[in-house]
A and B are shown apart, each in its own frame.
Chain A
Amino acid sequence: MKPLNPFALTVSVPPHRHCGTTVRDRMLTILVAMLPAAVMASMTFGMPAIRVMALSMATAVLAEMACDYFMDRETDVNDFHAFTVGLSFAFLLPASAPWWLVAFGSAASIVLGKMAFGPLGGSPFCAPLVGWAICRISWPSFMDIDASMLGMDLTYPLAQLKNFGLDAVQITDSRQLFLGKQLGGLGAVQIAGVLLGGMLLVLRKHVSSIIPVGVIGGVALTAFLFNWIDPSMYASPAFHLLTGSTLFGAFFLATDGPSSPNRQIPMLLFGLLVGALIVIIRIYGVYPDGVPFAILLANLFTPALERIRPKPFGRR
């Protein structure tokens, strides 16, 4: 029998090659970058932290699949974006968070923060922060890191600063802060791990360095100004950088593609705005850690910042 011999060339518009990076690669790299902080969180907080992270990721994936089912579209969970949303949300929670809070917040992140705006790429907000904001406002006592983590020896420096002033902060050693010996969002305070992951993302060029540099610069600059006005009342830039979720926000949340500007100058301004808002909320706001709200507020400025754009080539 003569074998069938199909032969047809592939025909398409250029480019005929691709750089090779896909959405899935990017999300996997983000997950790998979050791994060091996740490991440190499990070492510091033990099983409760693993429970929160696992539950949050599982809920996020199931929520996305459910949305896809009801929206009658083919599911994209294999691009791992739901995993990153779930893990990012877990990173902002206290390790003591009850299961229903984790599940509700994670599902809300996906449903309201992502799927309500269509598939990946439509959301004007960083998805995990939407869930976080809903939970923070609806169940403040469960989201209050200090009150819900009384069983730990560690202290929450940002709450001490907010409630009792700079002198009350017990952890003053930057190295302790850097190694994550503080309370806060369970993964976000693992500063060393977050920094390591963030460097990986930037060096592998999965994330442009402009936004992280902007956020860190904005925090340092604003905190320096306040600290310079009155060093006895306002904490130093290093304190603001090494506590709470500043670095996690800078590398993982503010850099979220659809909700942040795309061009260089708007990106830098966006970063500086996030950084300044973090310190301002920490000093004047009611929330000890200003990062999530700072980023959500800056997300609202993205369309305005996007209007800063150069003229197209050759247009005068």
Chain B
Amino acid sequence: MNTRSTHTATAELTLNRHCPLVTCGQKVERGERIATASDPGMGDIHAPFPGSVEHVDPYRIRIAREGGETVDPAILDGLGGQDLLARLRELGADLPARGQVDILILNGVDEEPGLLSRRTLLAEKLETLRTGASALVRGYKPAEVTLAVPGGVKESLPDIAVKVVSDQYPQGLDPLVAKAVTGQEAPDNTLVVGLETVFHAGMVMETGLPVMETMVTVDNSARLISLGSPVGEILTSDGLTIHDGDRIVLGGVLRGTAAASPGQGVDRATTAVSLIRNPTPVAMDAACVGCGECVRRCPARLDPAMITSYAEFGQYEKAEAEAVDVCFECGLCGFFCIARRPMLQYIRLAKHELAKAKAQSGEETQP
């Protein structure tokens, strides 16, 4: 539903491979679980305030605020290992599912220029981060833990080594941070967790309540915002007017997701909410002009020009031969494409089609 006005009294929770547990009209308490994750590395979703369910579809749950109670805090004492991680996921922390983790890296570098959420977490929520980090250490049982921070950050966590990483884009992205810390590209048994997830785990450990707010950059500062808050509401209360054709971006401009409507809610992965007005479209249906800008700028040393041209004509196995799976989607190829090709869209299309083909052939060969 696309309307300019949004109600503060409503929360919209975006489902991303989650199964809704509630039905329309159902009353929910604050912190009640309303959807479970079907992806093993994702957390469940909870109501950010007491109210009644207004709308449920496979992509979103909308809740209208009403008076009500808060759920009882969960007891997490004495848990460790996979049990603790599973419990944290049930309470809404997006902790990746991994078997053995030798090196755990907490990524405190804001991924894109203009994002401030991780920096603000380090400056203001150090105590919660400490709790979260120790919970992650108890859960994953890594041999080494490192906190990656941009230059100029003085904060640190107890018993955790600090590594200063360049915050020049794209150096703050997880694969490049892992390389900066371990000195190896795509090292084995290494897990990079974003600082916001550490913070979510820390909040759960401190309160026993599910994750209900996250640190979001709005304009030039970051603040805690309740999950499910409509993005349009956040921007208009900041004094911005949303016009027809604008885009609201959840996350950074190079990697973020465009909101489908101003009513879409902030989710746990949202590090920023911003309004972008583009006089001209960023991408057009154009052929590659062979200038080579993307090839020279790709941090994964791929040939985006060839990959996207293969994807354009459905030759996905050739895109696979060009190592499309290595791409970590920094968005630089599309940013610099002088033909304004939708580079990342083609790359994601190729990845999606390859994954689909793999899943289908796997089903056939399995007895």
Contact = CB atoms under 8 A, between A and B. Distances in A.
Determine if chain A interacts with chain B: yes
Interface of A: 6-19, 21-23, 25-26, 118-122, 208, 257-264, 309-315
Nearest to A124: B290
Contacts, number: 158
A164 to B, nearest CB: 42
B287 A262 contact: no
Contacts of B276: 16-17
A148 B104 CA distance: 75
Would you list the 8 A-B pairs with minimal beta carbon distance, nearest first? Answer: A314-B186, A262-B292, A258-B290, A121-B289, A313-B300, A15-B331, A312-B323, A262-B295
B296 A264 contact: yes
Given A12-B282, A17-B282, 8 more contacts: A13-B334, A13-B345, A15-B282, A15-B334, A264-B296, A313-B185, A313-B300, A313-B302
Given A9-B262, A312-B323, A262 B247 contact: no
B177 interface: no
Given A14-B255, A17-B254, A23 B244 contact: no
Interface stretch (B72-80, B84-92, B121-129, B335-343): B335-343
23 contacts: A7-B244, A9-B2, A9-B262, A10-B247, A11-B247, A11-B259, A12-B283, A15-B254, A15-B335, A16-B253, A21-B336, A21-B338, A22-B339, A25-B338, A118-B287, A120-B290, A121-B291, A121-B339, A262-B295, A312-B301, A313-B300, A313-B326, A315-B326
B193 interface: no
Interface string B254-280: 111111111000000000000010100
Nearest to B292: A262
A6 to B, nearest CB: 6
By secondary structure, the A interface counts as loop
Contacts of A208: 292, 296
Nearest to B4: A7
Contacts of B246: 9-10
Contacts of B4: 7
Contact of A257 (B186, B292, B301, B326): B292
Contacts of A122: 287, 290
Contacts of B47: none
Nearest to A81: B289
B319 interface: no
B248 to A, nearest CB: 6
A265 to B, nearest CB: 11
A257 B290 contact: yes
A257 B291 contact: yes
A84 B333 CA distance: 25
B63 interface: no
Nearest to B295: A262
A9 B296 contact: no
A8 B4 CA distance: 9
B344 A15 contact: yes
B298 to A, nearest CB: 9
Contacts of B260: 9, 11
A10 B258 contact: yes
Contacts of A22: 338-340
B12 interface: no
